[in-house]
A and B are shown apart, each in its own frame.
Chain A
């Protein structure tokens, strides 16, 4: 089991560029989510999905888009990158009976 994988590990964008952060899990988990982590802010929920074809917004969804066509994958799209989106992004997954979400290693994104 690879668990939760994220690509890329690092990314630098210019303001206005778009990109997709990839997330995949091989644990057949129904629930997947994206968080961003900023200094002094903990982790904040961006978007989440309770199953293929179902997504919903979290606490800080503006500027991000998601879709979930398969159980395994949950990509996060930045539509037009802004410096305020400089952060570390974590993908996580869990099942209905989980005590925890399993987190990926993170993607460090810098927007210039």
Chain B
């Protein structure tokens, strides 16, 4: 069993829909939680960062962490075709985003 599990999709939704992406994990030592966005043939880039449990909002994006359930989520409101990408959750037990453990990634397509 992988330390971090993420449904690889693919997920296809119409423009304007609310998108929910999720990951579960097994290592209770993880304290730093990240969501990366990766466009085709590009390197991953940080979208959201959360330390420990709680919610964080940035524009149309909201990240949630529930450490008691070992479950993290990313919500995208008013989704746009430009949001079409692969979304990767990542976690670490050390500060400085060191030794990241990634989920498999979810391929998301927003249809105009």
- The docked-state distance in angstroms from the alpha carbon of A92 to that of B44 is 10
Question: Is there contact, CB below 8 Å, between B99 and A33?
Answer: yes
Could you say which residues of chain B place their CB within 8 Å of the CB of A84? none
Question: Is there contact, CB below 8 Å, between A31 and B103?
Answer: no
**Interchain Cβ contacts under 8 Å between A and B, 9 examples:** A42-B4, A43-B100, A48-B98, A50-B98, A98-B96, A100-B46, A103-B43, A103-B45, A104-B43
Could you say which residues of chain A place their CB within 8 Å of the CB of B43? 4, 90, 92, 103-106
Interface residues of B (CB under 8 A from A): 4, 6, 8, 34, 41-46, 49, 88, 90, 95-105
Question: Is there contact, CB below 8 Å, between A94 and B98?
Answer: yes
- The docked-state distance in angstroms from the alpha carbon of A97 to that of B34 is 15
Closest-CB distance, B62 to chain A (whole angstroms): 17
- The docked-state distance in angstroms from the alpha carbon of A89 to that of B45 is 15
Which residues A81-112 have CB closer than 8 A to chain B? Answer: 90, 92, 94-101, 103-106
Is A58 among interface residues, defined by CB-CB distance under 8 A? yes
- Among candidates A40, A58, A90, A101, residue contacting B97 with C-beta atoms closer than 8 Å: A101
Could you say which residues of chain A place their CB within 8 Å of the CB of B105? 42
Could you say which residues of chain B place their CB within 8 Å of the CB of A98? 96-97
Interface size class of A (residues with CB under 8 A): 20 to 34
Nearest A-chain residue to B51, judged by Cβ: A99
Could you say which residues of chain A place their CB within 8 Å of the CB of B42? 105-106
Question: Is there contact, CB below 8 Å, between A97 and B96?
Answer: yes
Is A52 among interface residues, defined by CB-CB distance under 8 A? no
Question: Is there contact, CB below 8 Å, between A100 and B88?
Answer: no
Nearest B-chain residue to A101, judged by Cβ: B97
Closest-CB distance, A84 to chain B (whole angstroms): 18
- The docked-state distance in angstroms from the alpha carbon of A58 to that of B99 is 8
